[in-house]
Amino acid sequence: MIANAKEEFSGYEITGSDEGPYLGVYADIPISEKISLIPEMDYANINGSSFGFLSVRAKYNIIPLLFVQAGPQVSYLFEQFGSINKAGIDFGLGAGVDIFKHFNIQARYAFELTNRNKQGFDGTSKLNWLHIGLGYTF
């Protein structure tokens, strides 16, 4: 997983990124032949900071082996870090390939919709996420 932080204050912009491993569980709940619902819960450790993610995505099977997905995500920082809010609301878009009967490779990018800055002055602080992983469906 790669996290990208972006802060903007009084016309200045500060950006940075870091990566770390993540692990999660999900369910693939069929709604129709091509559409399913994917609730997912992940844990990530990025540069020594622990994050939790809870998402619900709609999955659309373009062809039998290729899918796209989109939906909201809540991201949560377990430790206090400076003057930012621990929780954020994100929206994610992604795609994946079913490589074997139960295995898939997927990538998705979630961009933060909320402002984590809680200092009370004009400025924004957002965290965006790139998830790249190998999944196993039971």
Please give the biggest Cα pair distance in the chain.
Answer: 52
pLDDT of residue 120: 64
By DSSP bridging, strand 103-112 and strand 12-19 are: unpaired
In terms of average pLDDT, the best of 20-24, 89-93, 119-123 is 89-93
Helix H or strand E segment including 138 = none
- 132 has pLDDT over 80: yes
pLDDT at 8 over 70: yes
Amino acid 35: pLDDT: 98
pTM higher than 0.85? yes
Does residue 55 have a pLDDT over 70? Answer: yes
Domain ranges of the chain: 21-136
In whole numbers, what is the pLDDT of the chain averaged over residues?
90
